[in-house]
Amino acid sequence: MEDICVLESGDTLPRADSIENLVRPFEDPKIGMTGAQKIPVNVPEHVVGYMSHLRLQMEHQLCLEIPRLGELIAFRKVFTHLPPDVAMDEAFVEALVIRRGLEVHYAPDAVVYNMGPETLGEFIMQRRRNYAGHLHLTRKYGYKVSSLDNTRVMRIAVDEMVKAARLIVTLTWLALVEALARALGTYDYYVRGRKHVVWDMAWTTKRVENGTVPQTHPPSDITTEPK
């Protein structure tokens, strides 16, 4: 009988090396449980699919701080059975492992692909039942998963909002700079008659090593023809 069990949800698909990466941390005897990184396969262009991507991205950031494992886990067999009234199996295993003084480890290199809900109704239904299951685990067994730490979750959510705001600002600046560059290019071509056959050097795009200066003219064996 093996000392380590692997438990996977039936609607997921692991990557070829996921199981190997999942069980490798057990070389450390202090590790009692590991969990994979969940990657959604939903199309992010759809609003509900994008919500699945965003939620799992936030969960990934949370797991890097405090693991909250699910879908694909491995654990030492420190118990004999799961209670029939527990809906969140992975969370209960997490609680048992921690109570026995072992550590829970997040293994982001162990990837498992997961299809999230495609409709808003199913998304709410899934999140509703998961939350109820976690509340039952907290009330009856005294274990609170890390995703119930609202302060930590809000901080991660704010970080994501800051990233989104930075992206919007950057895209706005990119559009303005591109518009300016195109206006100047139009002026160069139609007003000044300049075709930029000989390019002005963009020095920051050239690598300079050991104090050497990049070559500013083509080698002598290359002939350039006017365009």
Q: Does 130 share its domain with 174? A: no
Q: Does 160 share its domain with 65? A: no
Share the mean pLDDT of the chain: 84
Domain containing 176 equals 156-194
In a domain, 27, yes or no: yes
Q: What global pTM score does this model have?
A: 0.68
Tell me the mean pLDDT in the region 124-137. Answer: 88
Q: Does 83 share its domain with 26? A: yes
What is the per-residue pLDDT for 173?
Answer: 95
Q: Which amino acid is at 115?
A: M
What is the per-residue pLDDT for 172?
Answer: 95
83: tokens are: 């209670």
Instruction: Quickly state the pLDDT bin for 210 (edges 50, 70, 90).
Output: low
In the listed set 131, 148, 165, which residue is the last one of a domain according to the structure?
A: 148
Look at the chain and report how many structural domains it folds into: 2
Q: Does 136 share its domain with 48? A: yes
Task: Check residue 53 and give left, alpha or beta (phi > 0: left; psi -120 to 50: alpha).
Answer: alpha
Q: Does 181 share its domain with 79? A: no
Percent pLDDT > 70 in the chain is 90
What is the per-residue pLDDT for 221?
Answer: 46
Q: Does 123 share its domain with 188? A: no
Distance of CA 63 to the CA centre of its chain: 10
In a domain, 102, yes or no: yes
pLDDT beyond 70 at 32: yes
Q: Does 105 share its domain with 14? A: yes
In a domain, 103, yes or no: yes
Q: Does 54 share its domain with 143? A: yes
49: tokens are: 């699919």
Q: Does 175 share its domain with 119? A: no
CA distance 87 to 82: 10
The predicted-structure confidence for 159-196, as pLDDT tens digits, reads as follows 889 988 999 999 999 999 999 999 999 999 888 888 77
What is the per-residue pLDDT for 213?
Answer: 52
The predicted-structure confidence for 81-121, as pLDDT tens digits, reads as follows 777 777 788 888 888 888 889 999 999 999 999 888 888 99
Of 154, 153, 111, 121, nearest to 48 by C-alpha is 121
Bigger pLDDT: 116 vs 16: 16
Q: Does 186 share its domain with 91? A: no
Other C-beta atoms within 10 Å of 51: how many? 18
Mean pLDDT highest for which of 45-59, 70-84, 160-174? 160-174
What is the per-residue pLDDT for 207?
Answer: 65
Bigger pLDDT: 201 vs 117: 117
In the listed set 94, 119, 148, which residue is the last one of a domain according to the structure?
A: 148
Strand residues in the chain grouped as ranges (E): 4-8, 12-14, 31-40, 72-76, 103-114
In a domain, 82, yes or no: yes
In the listed set 122, 148, 174, which residue is the last one of a domain according to the structure?
A: 148
Instruction: Quickly state the pLDDT bin for 208 (edges 50, 70, 90).
Output: low
What is the per-residue pLDDT for 109?
Answer: 94
Q: Does 44 share its domain with 79? A: yes
Bigger pLDDT: 227 vs 76: 76
Q: Does 62 share its domain with 11? A: yes
Instruction: Quickly state the pLDDT bin for 197 (edges 50, 70, 90).
Output: confident
